[in-house]
Amino acid sequence: MTSFTDDSDVTTTSHPRPIIGTSVWTFGAMLWAYVVLGEYTTAGFIGEAVAGPILILVAAVSWAIAVRRSLVTPPRRFGILGRALVPGAIALLLLTFCALFMNFVGESSHQNQDVPMTLAFMVLGMLAFFGGQRLTGSVDKQSLTKTYAHLPLIGAILVSLGAVLHLIVAN
């Protein structure tokens, strides 16, 4: 007789991808913060002197959490130092590419593309953030306290809604 165990408390991918997953996770957080903070900066709610450190803080915290979670699987090819540094470098390259792409499309377009580009990159950032978490590897859901498990998602949705609302009203 075969017995089945309940694995509903553990979220896994078929094969953890600690370098790619951590890179995509960190990139998603950085892109989302870049777009949302950019929207709040252009609206005049916050200055660039405030937005820059917030972006760095979001990048550092998401990177540190992602790297820590990626260490569930033992480092192989790049070692621990590579496991920590390579994803950060890849995430920065991806963010730079997206920023250059946004600038290129915005400058070369005859029409105002702010609204669709902002919404598209905000959604891309959120998808990359959650997809990167999934790619990084398993997490024990029981280790998260039930009360605070969804707080980051709720916060991200509220801040995103504020930015989208401003984007719609301002344009």
pLDDT digits (tens, 9 = 90+) for 132-141: 888 877 665 5
Please determine, for residue 9, whether its predicted confidence score (pLDDT) is greater than 90: no
Q: Name the residue ranges covered by the structural domains of the chain.
A: 17-136+148-170
Given this model, what pLDDT does residue 139 score?
60
Q: Which of 161, 148, 152 is nearest to 130 (CA)?
A: 152
The pLDDT of residue 147 is above 60:
no
With a cut of 90, say whether residue 107 has pLDDT above it. Answer: no
Q: When comparing pLDDT for 166 and 85, which is higher?
A: 85
Please report which confidence band the pLDDT of residue 1 belongs to, taking 50, 70 and 90 as the band edges.
Answer: very low
Confidence of residue 96 (pLDDT cuts 50, 70, 90): very high
Q: What are phi and psi of 27, to 5 degrees?
A: -60, -45
More confident residue, 12 or 73: 73
CA 107 to CA 121: how far, in whole Å?
16
- pLDDT(149) > 70: no
pLDDT of residue 94: 92
Give the mean pLDDT of 25-52.
Answer: 87
Give the burial class of 102: count Cβ atoms within 10 A of its Cβ; 0-12 exposed, 13-18 middle, 19 or more buried.
buried
Give the C-alpha separation, 59 to 90, whole Å: 12
Q: Which band of pLDDT confidence, cut at 50, 70 and 90, is reported for residue 7?
A: very low
Show Cβ contacts of residue 147 under 8 Å, excluding neighbours closer than 6 positions: none
Lowest mean pLDDT among 28-32, 96-100, 165-169: 165-169
Q: Which tokens belong to 106?
A: 């915005």
The answer to whether 25 and 152 are in contact (CB under 8 A) is no
The alpha-carbon radius of gyration of the chain (Å, integer) is 18
Q: Has this prediction a pTM greater than 0.85?
A: no
